[in-house]
Amino acid sequence: MNEIQRFKEEILKDYPRLSEDDSFTFSCHPGVPCFNNCCRDVNIFLTPYDIIRLKNRLGISSQEFLDRYTLLPFDKNLKYPVTLLQMSEDESKACPFVGENGCTVYEDRPWSCRMYPLGMASPREEDKAVEKEFYFLLKEDVCEGFAEKKEQTIREWLIDQGILDYNEMGEYFKDLTLHPFFEKAENLTPPKIEMFFLVCYNIDKFRRFVFDSTFLNKFEVDEEVLDKIKQSEVELLKFGYQWLRFSLFGEKTMKVRTDVLEDKKKELKMKQKLK
């Protein structure tokens, strides 16, 4: 059992389950004695949407962002690639985006930073131990924000922290990573791992894969969809998830062009004749 799975089981067993209507008392601001301490020596997993927001905030390409700010942890139990925000290499092990006055990319900070001190458990459909999604509080000794007097419901917190857009995009990624393929303990081949990484974490390179290769000569893409993915990286990412379902799992989420299918049939007939 890996560390992530152990943590999930601990949550299900020990943490009180909260709904969006439940309240909690918490506030984080420069006046709190522990301000910025939670931005050090911490594992922050980045979602595909996190990377799009951050690399655009910094004005750099997704490849440059990956090279400068991320780590790719290796764990034999991982079924697909994940990315971690790289902390500084000095003694502080601080987040590269934390400054004296707080987060320097605050408007585009990652999902996990927005959620803190809340956690969210999203059960699998077949998981009978958890009936539905719930929230829980991460009360850590280093955090003094719980001593503040500000009370809010979880729903108010989610709105105030701008989490709703992140959650919407997170659903697409969650649906992909909870695919039955992974539930059956199947492993991706190296080329499929590269494709997963390309779509999910290197959106600029995926754009080139779609528009600068023979991709559009092989697959039918509706004109409306084509316009959307040309103009929006978020729409391109959604399109990428559909492509991954086709290329990784063999689902019929993409339509091969008729002429390509005909060429394949002719090629197959020729091979059969040569046998």
- pLDDT tens digits, one per residue of 107-165: 999 999 999 999 988 765 445 445 578 899 988 888 999 999 999 999 999 999 999 99
Q: 182-188: list long-range contacts, CB under 8 Å, 24+ apart.
A: 182/79, 182/80, 183/124, 185/79, 186/79, 187/79, 188/79, 188/80, 188/248
- pLDDT tens digits, one per residue of 68-93: 999 998 777 788 999 999 999 998 89
Between 183 and 193, where is the model more confident?
Answer: 193
pLDDT at position 1 is 43
Give me 130's structure tokens.
């958890």
- Burial of residue 235, with CB atoms counted within 10 A of its CB: 0-12 exposed, 13-18 middle, 19 or more buried: middle
For the segment 92-103, the average pLDDT, to the nearest whole number, is 92
Per-residue pLDDT band for 25 (boundaries 50, 70, 90) equals very high
Is 267 a residue whose pLDDT tops 80?
no
Per-residue pLDDT band for 10 (boundaries 50, 70, 90) equals low
Give the whole-angstrom CA distance, residue 117 versus residue 11. 14
pLDDT at position 118 is 94
pLDDT at position 2 is 45
Are 111 and 163 a contacting pair, CB within 8 Å? yes
Give the whole-angstrom CA distance, residue 36 versus residue 28. 9
- DSSP secondary structure letters along 16-60: PPB-TT-EEE----TTSTTTTGGGBS---EEPHHHHHHHHHHHT-
Per-residue pLDDT band for 265 (boundaries 50, 70, 90) equals low
For the segment 171-176, the average pLDDT, to the nearest whole number, is 94
Is 8 a residue whose pLDDT tops 60?
no
Give the whole-angstrom CA distance, residue 93 versus residue 40. 5
- pLDDT tens digits, one per residue of 185-244: 778 999 999 999 999 999 999 999 999 999 999 999 999 999 999 999 999 999 999 999
pLDDT at position 11 is 58
| Backbone torsion region of residue 102, taken as left when φ is above 0, otherwise alpha when ψ lies between -120 and 50, otherwise beta | left
pLDDT at position 262 is 58
Which residue ranges make up each domain of the chain? 3-177, 188-259
Quick one: CA torsion of 111, 116, 118, 122, rounded to 10 degrees? 30
Is 5 a residue whose pLDDT tops 60?
no
pLDDT at position 121 is 81
pLDDT at position 125 is 46
pLDDT at position 139 is 87
Give the whole-angstrom CA distance, residue 9 versus residue 20. 22
Instruction: Count CA atoms within 13 Å of residue 221 on its CB side.
Output: 20
Could you check whether the bond before residue 117 is cis, i.e. omega within 30 degrees of 0? yes
Give me 110's structure tokens.
């990652």
Between 167 and 260, where is the model more confident?
Answer: 167
Q: How many CB atoms lie within 10 A of CB 7?
A: 11
pLDDT at position 163 is 94
pLDDT at position 141 is 85
- 3-class DSSP assignment, residue 94: strand
- pLDDT tens digits, one per residue of 54-68: 999 999 999 999 999
For the segment 257-270, the average pLDDT, to the nearest whole number, is 62
Question: Could you give phi then psi for residue 105, rounded to 5 degrees?
Answer: -125, 35
Closest alpha carbon to 85 in 61, 59, 111, 107: 111
